[in-house]
Amino acid sequence: MSKLLIVGTVAFDAIETPFGKTDKILGGAGTYIGLSASNFHIDSAVVSVVGDDFPQEYLDLMQNNNINIEGIEIVKGGKTFFWSGKYHNDLNTRDTLDTQLNVLADFDPVVPEEFKDSEYVMLGNLHPLVQLSVLEQVKNPKLVVLDTMNFWMDHTLNDLKRVISKVDVIAINDEEARQLSGEYSLVKAAREISKMGPAYVVIKKGEHGALLFHKNEIFFAPALPLEEVFDPTGAGDTFAGGFIGYLAKTDDISFENMKNAIIYGSNLASFCVEKFGTERMQNLTSEEIKKRLDEFQKLTKFETNHI
Amino acid sequence: MSKLLIVGTVAFDAIETPFGKTDKILGGAGTYIGLSASNFHIDSAVVSVVGDDFPQEYLDLMQNNNINIEGIEIVKGGKTFFWSGKYHNDLNTRDTLDTQLNVLADFDPVVPEEFKDSEYVMLGNLHPLVQLSVLEQVKNPKLVVLDTMNFWMDHTLNDLKRVISKVDVIAINDEEARQLSGEYSLVKAAREISKMGPAYVVIKKGEHGALLFHKNEIFFAPALPLEEVFDPTGAGDTFAGGFIGYLAKTDDISFENMKNAIIYGSNLASFCVEKFGTERMQNLTSEEIKKRLDEFQKLTKFETNHI
């Protein structure tokens, strides 16, 4: 069975949406990616760092989902990374109210011995040098997927470009793709970004779906139109976890199979936003995922009728 | 063969985009709808009004595309409706620089005798009372499609609601759907709008595609990711013309067939934006449309793989 190595934050989030407000709850890119990928019942590990204020029950939750947590360093006397944000009424935009890096400031990732030969590596959104360090500890992975964001483009562009040059797939949102490439058209943006390294470019458009670019081919996965979006936090990470989790499970990195990976990413993300934080992802059944996959199929399927 | 009756403006547009600027060129919802629907080689007529400043060559262009223009009144000494707009760099937003209603201010539409038994009626974006007047002149149409915009919601909501209560399909953009329904979620918005009358609700999302709602079913048509969008003017009208033109041609108003209609609408709109004004629509071949239909099929097609 293929192994999946994930690096990403494991954190506390405090979230406010038009529908309610949470105290500090479980959050972080590594957490969402791990929980999402765990739906494929693969061997996965999360590399991260927390303080000793981090509840054991959260670590248990990850272990109970078959996620190896040896690579999650617990810093004695340290405080866990904390992010607090408030979503606007449209849920598409948010203000960051507070960011406390805490133990993340000095994070030196250590990949567990058992996962140094991981075939699949997911570099969750983090400082590019942390992502690089993880990549350097892994031997000959089959597929490396990078998630990043505009913050690193603004502040550490050269480091980020070094990472980008080493990965197979990059997953960023539409505004970030435009910023990184200097091109407004997403078709042109993907082409420019591909020249920087990644053979596959995934552009996430939130409620508007996601695009997968490879050479001259394009695949589009819609987002499922939902009655209610409750909390978008972690949707992008859940998407990435579903994408790479599916690929690791099927161990097939053809463009055809990546289409399904994108659909599984969208599928899992559509659940994530239905409740606060990781709540929905903690109680997700394979039956629910299967049913929603059929909804995705139905949503765009039509029989070509040439006139 | 089914007949298609179209009411909509026939006008002059002056357009400025980041790529260039036009003088007064041929424009108007009725023009774009008519040219788009003409690709299906059906019997269609446009009901509209122009001044005697309107060039004969534009009327010839419509006739050469097999569009009946008996219902286009030419007002002696009158001036044709004129709109001028400037698009922002993202091409998603625009400022109206000038609107001169001219002969449109007193427009009293007269449906040609031959088209009073039209099976298909397209009410292009216009004052709701003009749309109502056209509808009252038609006997037992099989399908009526309404296009409208936020301007009529702001200024003539009660009249608009009377029209909405009489149509089978309404096509509006996402912001307008939210305004009309008071619901942010498009799923909820479509449900509320359907309660006002239309059994089918089409929500246009521009570069993000279009949704078709009917009872509890949803179909999504992506927009084709384009290298270059040159001028978005008329894309929504072209979409509507493709939608109803395809339905009139196939004379099948099942939900399954409406999926193809939405795809044809998106297909034709994707050409419209490639050049200024109606230029691209004037030189479109059935081969090009066929080829692009295959691209639409390829864009979202995947084989369901249950894990």
Q: Is 90 exceeded by the pLDDT of residue A93?
A: no
Phi–psi pair at A95, nearest 5 degrees: -105, 135
Provide the pLDDT confidence category of residue A87 given band limits of 50, 70 and 90. Answer: very high
Q: Count Cβ atoms below 10 Å from residue A304 Cβ, excluding itself.
A: 13
- Quote the CA–CA distance of B187 and B175 in Å, as a whole number: 13
Q: How far apart are CA A143 and CA A251, in angstroms?
A: 10
Q: A184: which strand partners?
A: none
The whole-angstrom distance between B184's CA and the closest CA on chain A is: 7
B191 touches A at CB < 8 Å: no
Amino acid at B116: K
B189, B203 Cβ separation under 8 angstroms:
yes
Which residues on A lie below 8 Å from B218 (Cβ)? 225, 299
ipTM of model: 0.92
Inter-chain touch A302–B90, beta carbons under 8 Å: no
Is the pLDDT at A91 greater than 90, yes or no?
A: no
**φ, ψ for residue A169 (rounded to 5)?**
-130, 135
Chain B hits for A246, Cβ within 8 Å:
307
Give the closest of B186, B293, B294 to A225, CB-based: B186
Identify which of A185, A229, A249 has the shortest CB distance to residue B228: A185
Pairing verdict, β B72-75 and A82-87: unpaired
Q: Would the CB atoms of A294 and B304 count as touching at under 8 Å?
A: yes
Give contacts of B219 with chain A, Cβ < 8 Å. Answer: 299-300, 302
Sorted by sequence, the CB contacts under 8 Å of residue B143 that are 6+ apart come out as B119, B120, B121, B168, B169, B244, B247, B253
Ranges of chain B with pLDDT below 70: none
Report the distance separating Cα A39 and Cα A246, nearest Å. 9
pLDDT 10s digits, A188-213: 999 999 999 999 999 999 999 999 99
Q: What is the pLDDT of residue A90?
A: 80
Contact assignment for A303 to B260 by CB distance below 8 Å = yes
Residue type, B1: M
DSSP state of A145: E
pLDDT at A68: 98
Question: Which DSSP symbol is given to A123?
Answer: E
| Per-residue confidence band for A170, with pLDDT thresholds at 50, 70 and 90 | very high
Q: Which of A302, A303, A304 is the best mutation test for B, with the most CBs of B within 10 A?
A: A302
Q: Are B139 and B116 in contact (CB under 8 A)?
A: yes
- Our CA angle for B275, B280, B281, nearest 5°, is 140
**Which of A175, A263, A304 to mutate to probe the B interface, most B CBs <10 Å?**
A304
Question: pLDDT value at position B90?
Answer: 80
Contact call for B300 and A297, based on CB within 8 A: no
Closest CA to B246 of B131, B143, B115: B143
HSE of B89 in the Cβ direction (CA atoms, 13 Å)? 3
Q: Give residue A244's Cα distance to chain centre.
A: 9
Question: Looking at the complex, does the CB of residue A93 fall below 8 Å from at least one CB of chain B?
Answer: no
Residue B216 near chain A (CB below 8 Å): no
Short-list A11, A198, A208, CA closest to A104: A11
pLDDT at A79: 98
Is B304 in contact with A286 (Cβ distance < 8 A)? no
Contacts of B89 in chain A (CB under 8 A): 184
pLDDT for B251 equals 98
Residues of chain B positioned with their CB less than 8 A from the CB of A258: none
Could you give the percent of chain A with pLDDT greater than 70? 100
**Parallel, antiparallel, or unpaired for β A94-100 and A72-75?**
unpaired
B230 lies within 8 A of chain A by CB = no
Search chain B and give the residue with CA nearest A221.
Answer: B300
Whether the per-residue pLDDT at A160 is higher than 90: the answer is yes
Inter-CA distances, B257 with A297, A304, B34, B293, Å: 17, 10, 21, 15
Q: Are A168 and A194 contacting, i.e. CB atoms less than 8 angstroms apart? A: no
Which pLDDT score is estimated for A98?
Answer: 94
CA distance B152 to chain A (A): 24
Kindly give, in sequence order, each residue whose CB lies less than 8 Å from that of residue B158, ignoring residues fewer than 6 positions away: none
Q: What is the DSSP string of B110-164?
A: ---GGGTT-SEEEE-SS-HHHHHHHHHTS-S-SEEEEE--HHHHHH-HHHHHHHH
Q: What is the DSSP letter of A179?
A: H
Does B250 contact A at CB distance below 8 Å? yes
What is the spatial distance between Cα A298 and Cα B254, in angstroms, rounded to a whole number? Answer: 16
B228: tokens are: 């270059």
Nearest chain B Cα distance for residue A149, angstroms: 21
Picking from A220, A299, A307, the nearest residue to B40 by CB comes out as A307
For A187, the closest of B209, B225, B289 (CB atoms) is B225
First to last CA, chain B: 48
Contacts of B204 in chain A (CB under 8 A): none
If residue A127 lies in a helix (H) or strand (E), which one and from where to where?
Answer: none
Beta bridge partners of A94: A87
A-chain residues near B302 (CB < 8 A): 219, 259-260, 263, 297
Whole-number Cα distances in Å, A260 to A201, A246, B33, B301? 15, 8, 37, 10
Judge: A208–B209 Cβ closer than 8 Å, yes or no: yes
Residue A159: CB atoms within 10 Å: 16
Distance CA A236, CA A246 (A): 15
Contacts of B252 (CB under 8 A, 6+ apart): none
pLDDT score for A270: 97
pLDDT of A307 above 90? no
Q: In B, residues 141-180, which contact A (CB 8 Å cutoff)?
A: none
Contacts of A184 in chain B (CB under 8 A): 89-90
Question: What is the per-residue pLDDT across A10-57, written as a single tens digit (0 to 9) for each?
Answer: 999 999 998 899 999 999 999 999 999 999 999 999 999 999 999 999
Give the minimum alpha-carbon distance from B255 to chain A in angstroms, rounded to a whole number: 11
Is the Cβ of A192 closer than 8 Å to some Cβ of chain B? no
User: Which of residues 11 through 70 in chain A touch B, CB cutoff 8 A?
Assistant: 40
Contacts of B269 (CB under 8 A, 6+ apart): B36, B223, B235, B236, B238, B239, B242
How far is A213 from chain B, CA to nearest CA, in Å? 11
pLDDT of residue A92: 81
A–B CB contacts, 8 A cutoff, strictly below: 105
How open is the CA angle A50-A53-A57, to the nearest 5 degrees?
Answer: 85
Q: What is the DSSP letter of B223?
A: P
Is residue A208 classed as helix, strand or coil in its secondary structure? helix
Q: Each residue of A263-298: pLDDT tens digit? A: 999 999 999 999 999 999 998 999 999 999 999 999
Report, as an integer, the average pLDDT of A79-102: 92
Q: How far apart are CA B307 and CA B304, in angstroms?
A: 10
Give the separation between CA A50 and CA A174, rounded to whole angstroms: 31
Nearest residue on chain B to A258, alpha-carbon basis: B302
Mean pLDDT value across chain A: 96
Domains of chain A, CATH where assigned? 3-300 (3.40.1190.20)
CA distance B240 to B256: 17
Q: Does A249 touch chain B (CB under 8 A)?
A: yes
The answer to whether the CB atoms of A185 and B227 lie below 8 A apart is yes
Long-range contact set of residues B99-104: C-beta below 8 Å, sequence gap at least 24: B102/B51, B102/B78, B103/B49, B103/B50, B103/B51, B103/B73, B103/B75, B103/B78, B103/B79, B104/B9, B104/B11, B104/B49
A83: left (phi over 0), alpha (psi -120 to 50) or beta: beta
The two structure tokens encoding residue A307: 């006139």
Q: Are B63 and B43 in contact (CB under 8 A)?
A: no
Using CA atoms, how far apart are residues B172 and A116, in angstroms rounded to an integer? 53
Cα separation of B1 and B133, whole Å? Answer: 25
Cα–Cα separations (whole angstroms), residue A73 to A69, A103, A136, A142, A278: 9, 10, 18, 26, 21
Write out chain A residues lying below 8 Å of B266, CB-based.
Answer: none
